Amino acid sequence: MQIKQVPQILFGRLLDGTDLGTTGVVHENVDPSETVDDLRHDGVAPGGIGDIERHRVHTVWVRRKQIIESIGATGGADDSGASRRRFLCDRTTKAGRRAGDEPNRVTLVGHQINDIAVPLTSGRRGCMDRMDPFAAYADSPAAKKEPHVDRFSVKTAAFLSDIHANDAALAAIADELMEEPPDVLVLTGDITWGTFPTETVDLITSLRDFIANVVLIRGNGDRALLDLQRGAREPESPRDSWMVARHSARDVAELKRVVFQVDVDVAGLGVIRACHGSPRADIEIITPGTPLERLAAATDGIDADVLLTGHTHLQFHRPVDGLRIRHSVNPGSVGIPYGVTAPGAYWLRVDGSRSDPFDFRRTSYDVEAYLARMLATDDPRAEAVANYLREPPTRDEMIEHGESLMFSD
C-alpha cells in the first residue's frame, strides 16, 4: 500500500488515469438538479440489485469529504438521519472489478452514508447503513484464496513484509537471519513489486539454503504482477508495463509460489495467522486504530491467537480484548517503512521462549546508496519511492488515512 501525496486521496481512477480524489468530474449527461430517484427513473441507474448487476455498476469506497463535488441533494435524510450526496464516475477501483469484466464505461450513482460512499443498489432509503464494507470486495480477486490453510509448528519464526524489491534492505536482514536462522520465514506480501525484483528473488533463493521453510504470502502487488503477466489485467500506468518487463520468467515462477495466508503455531505463544491485508482480502487495511467491530469481522471464524498483517508498512503490536485473537501485529515494511523516525528495514522475529515473544527489529543499511542505485534506473516511480524513504508518513497520518479507506489496492 502506498498513499498518494496529494491533498485529497481516492483510490478510484477514470479510464484515462485521472485521480477522482482531485477532480470535480460530473457526467455530462446528468442535470445537477436531478435527485437520485430522478436518475434511477431516467435509466442511469435502474433500481434493484439485479439491475445493478446487469449493468455492471461497481462499488467505490471514498473518504468522507473527498467525494467528488456534490451534485445537489437528495432531499432529506435516510432512516438513520445520515445526509446523502450523489456522486458519479466513469470507472471504479481495481479491487472492485469482477474478473473478466470488459473495460466498458459505466456510470455509478450513489449516496454517502456516514464515513463511506456506497452504490445505490436498492430503492430502500438507508438500505446500506448496516452494510459491511467487505461486501464490495467479497467476489473480487483480492478475496480469492485457497480452501486449505497450511500450518507450521515451530519454536521460532521471522516475518518480513512489504519488501517492494528493496534488495539492499533484504540483504541486510538476510545477514542477521543467517546468524540465527528461524524455523520458518514468512514473507507477508508485496515482495517483488519494486525496482529490483530479480535481485530480490536471488536473495530469497539464498535464504532457502539455510532456512528450512520459506513461505511467500500473496500481497496485492504480487497479485497485480501475476495478473498483468498473464494478461488478466490491463496496465493502468507506465509502471505496470515496466514492472512486467522487469520480471524474468524465473522471477514470475517464484511469485507463483504465493499463498493467501498461513498459520504458524509458535510454542509458548500460540497460533499466528499471517496474511497481507486481512484473512478476508489482501487489500484490507488493519491498523492499531481499526475498530474492534471491523477487526472482529475480519477475523470471524479464524482460530488463531495472533493476527499478523502487512500492507500498511506500519510496525505495531496491539493487544486485543474480547475477540478470539489476543494480538494484532504488523512487522512493518522491509522496503518502504512508514511511521518511523529512523531509517532502516523493519521486521519481526517471534520466539515463544522469550518473556515478550514479539521481537520487533530495525536493521540498518545504507539507504542513500540504495536510493542512488534506484534513481539511476528508469523506474517510473523511483522519485516517489525515494521521497517515501526520506520522508515517510507519520504513524498518526497512516492510521487516519488507513481507517478512512479500510480497503486499498
Q: Which domains does the chain have, with CATH numbers?
A: 1-131 (no CATH), 143-405 (3.60.21.10)
Query: How many Å apart are CA 274 and CA 252, to the nearest integer?
Result: 22
Residue 60's nearest CA partner among 3, 12, 107 is: 12
Per DSSP, the three-state class of 247 is coil
Per-residue pLDDT tens digits for 270-280: 999 999 999 99
pLDDT of residue 1: 53
pLDDT of residue 132: 73
Per DSSP, the three-state class of 74 is strand
Q: DSSP letter at 141?
A: G
Q: Minimum mean pLDDT among 86-95, 189-198, 363-372: which range?
A: 86-95
Q: What does the H/E/C string look like for 204-228?
A: HHHHCCCCCEEEEECCHHHHHHHHH
- Give ∠ CA 36-39-43 in degrees, rounded to 5: 140
Non-local (6+) Cβ contacts of 292 within 8 A are 320, 322, 323
- pLDDT over threshold 70, residue 385: yes
Cell of 173: 536482514
Residue 400's nearest CA partner among 65, 25, 22, 14 is: 65
Per DSSP, the three-state class of 347 is strand
Beta bridge partners of 271: 265
Strand intervals (E) in 261-396: 261-266, 270-275, 306-308, 316-319, 327-330, 345-351, 358-363
- pLDDT over threshold 50, residue 225: yes
- pLDDT over threshold 80, residue 265: yes
pLDDT of residue 6: 26
CA distances from 153 to 184, 262, 266 (A): 9, 11, 6
Is residue 18 a contact partner of residue 62, using CB atoms and an 8 Å limit?
A: no
Query: How many Å apart are CA 262 and CA 271, to the nearest integer?
Result: 10
Non-local (6+) Cβ contacts of 43 within 8 A are none
pLDDT of residue 356: 97
Per-residue pLDDT tens digits for 27-83: 333 333 333 333 333 333 322 222 222 222 233 333 222 333 222 222 333 333 332
More confident residue, 264 or 12: 264
pLDDT of residue 16: 34
Mean pLDDT of the chain: 76
Largest CA distance in the chain: 69
CA 259 to chain CA centroid, nearest Å: 16
Cell of 217: 504470502
pLDDT of residue 222: 98
- HSE (side-chain half, CA atoms, 13 Å) at 293: 7
107: phi then psi, degrees, rounded to nearest 5: -110, 130
Is residue 92 a contact partner of residue 129, using CB atoms and an 8 Å limit?
A: no
Query: How many Å apart are CA 166 and CA 102, to the nearest integer?
Result: 34
Cell of 393: 508518513
Residue type, 246: R
pLDDT of residue 379: 98
Query: How many Å apart are CA 83 and CA 74, to the nearest integer?
Result: 9
Name all contacts of 203-211 with Cβ < 8 Å and 24+ positions apart.
Answer: 203/167, 203/170, 203/171, 203/174, 204/254, 205/254, 206/174, 207/174, 207/177, 210/177, 210/178, 210/181, 211/177, 211/181, 211/182, 211/184, 211/185
pLDDT of residue 317: 98
pLDDT > 90: what percent of the chain? 67
Query: How many Å apart are CA 174 and CA 61, to the nearest integer?
Result: 39
Cell of 376: 539511476
What confidence category does residue 131 fall into, taking pLDDT thresholds of 50, 70 and 90? low
- pLDDT over threshold 90, residue 162: yes
- pLDDT over threshold 80, residue 104: no
Query: How many Å apart are CA 95 and CA 176, to the nearest integer?
Result: 36
- pLDDT over threshold 50, residue 402: yes
Q: Minimum mean pLDDT among 121-125, 126-130, 219-223, 349-353: which range?
A: 121-125
Residue 314's nearest CA partner among 280, 348, 282, 339 is: 339
